[in-house]
Structure 1
Amino acid sequence: MISYEWRGHFENPEVNALHAEGFDHAPLADDWWGQVTRHSLGWVTARRDDTLIGFVNVAWDGAIHAFVLDTLVTTAERSRGVGRHLVATAVDAARAAGCEWLHVDFDDHLEPFYFDNCGFQPTNAGLIALGTSAPRHV
Structure 2
Amino acid sequence: MEISYEWRGHFGNGEVNALHAEGFEHALLEDDWWAQVNRHSLGWVCAREGGELVGFVNVAWDGAIHAFILDTLVTERCRRHGVGTGLVAVAVREARAAGCEWLHVDFDDHLKDFYFGACGFQPTNAGLIAL
| TM category, shorter | over 0.9
> After the TM superposition, which segments of 4 or more aligned residues of structure 1 sit over 4 Å from their partners?
none
State the match for 2:72 in structure 1: 71
TM-score, with length taken from structure 1: 0.94
Secondary structure at the counterpart of residue 129 of structure 1 = coil
**2:116 is the counterpart of 1:84:** no
| Bigger radius of gyration | 1
Secondary structure at the counterpart of residue 71 of structure 2 = strand
Superposed displacement of residue 5, structure 1: 0.3
User: Which string of whole-angstrom CA distances, capped at 9 and with x for unpartnered residues, describes residues 41-83 of structure 1?
Assistant: 0000000000000000000000000000000000000000000
Superposed displacement of residue 85, structure 1: 0.3
The amino acid that maps onto 1:71 is: T
The equivalences for 1:87-102 within 5 A come to 87-102=88-103
User: Which string of whole-angstrom CA distances, capped at 9 and with x for unpartnered residues, describes residues 13-55 of structure 1?
Assistant: 0000000000001110000000000000000000000000000
**Any unmatched runs of 5+ in structure 2?**
none
Secondary structure at the counterpart of residue 17 of structure 2 = helix
Superposed displacement of residue 126, structure 1: 0.2
Cα distance in 2 between the residues matched to 1:91 and 1:14: 23
Superposed displacement of residue 10, structure 1: 0.1
State the match for 1:127 in structure 2: 128
Aligned residue-pair number: 130
Q: What percentage of residue pairs aligned between the two structures are identical? A: 78
**Any unmatched runs of 5+ in structure 1?**
131-138
State the match for 2:24 in structure 1: 23
